[in-house]
Amino acid sequence: MRALISISALTLLLAACGSQPPAPEQNPAGVESRTPGAVKVDTAPIVKVQPDSFDPGSIAALKDPRSPLSKRSIYFDYDSYIVKDEFQALLAAHGKFLSANPKMKMLLQGNADERGSREYNLALGQKRADAVRKGLVLLGGREEQLEAVSLGEEKPVCTESSEECWGKNRRGDMLYSGEF
């Protein structure tokens, strides 16, 4: 339940960090008095794992393909640095791992596709790395464990000029101690 609340809080926080200012109200509504009712909580997708398949606090889980910790990239929409709902469970797993392993360090690399100027892509990559860092901190990681850097468009995983390829390059990569 605590993880569910943390994921919901992270989603609300990241949604509130949008780059557009709120539109002014044209016809503000009056204040209405209501009694509190049931609260509806949106849930992010949950990574399903066999309970005995691995220890999520173990270093070996980082290399185990059955572990969500083996997945190290979070993909973003075009011109966006908002972590999508589909990656909340992955962030939660890595946050829990960092919490269980306080000596472990992580380097977060923000990447962009080839479109846009070099300066723009470096700034966007930094915002993506920072968004992943903030999510990990909210889900158990500590600031001193995390470093966020931008690689801009300098480290593509795909070099074709197509939407599918650009989508693979709009990402935040998570590297643990010993991998950078």
Q: What is the pLDDT confidence band of residue 5, given thresholds at 50, 70 and 90?
A: low
Q: What is the pLDDT of residues 101-137, one digit of tens each?
A: 999 999 999 999 999 999 999 999 999 999 999 999 9
Q: 93 and 134 in contact (C-beta within 8 Å)?
A: no
Q: What is d(CA 103, CA 100) in angstroms, rounded to the nearest whole number?
A: 9
Q: What is the pLDDT of residues 60-99, one digit of tens each?
A: 899 999 999 999 999 999 999 999 999 999 999 999 999 9
Q: At residue 162, does pLDDT exceed 80?
A: yes
Give the whole-number percent of the chain exceeding pLDDT 90: 64
Residues 6+ apart with CB under 8 A from 76: 82, 83, 84, 128, 170, 171, 172
pLDDT, position 1: 55
Which residues of the chain form beta strands (DSSP E)? 73-75, 106-111, 146-152, 171-176
Average the pLDDT over 23-47 and give the result. Answer: 46
Cβ neighbours of 29 (radius 10 Å): 6
pLDDT, position 45: 41
Q: At residue 13, does pLDDT exceed 60?
A: no
Nearest CA-CA partner of 91 in 1, 172, 179, 2: 172
Residue with tokens 């950078």: 180
Average the pLDDT over 160-166 and give the result. Answer: 96
Q: What is d(CA 104, CA 156) in angstroms, rounded to the nearest whole number?
A: 26
Q: Which residue has the higher pLDDT, 48 or 16?
A: 16
pTM value surpassing 0.95: no
pLDDT, position 165: 97
Which domains occur in the chain, in start order? 73-180 (3.30.1330.60)
Q: What number of residues does the chain have? A: 180
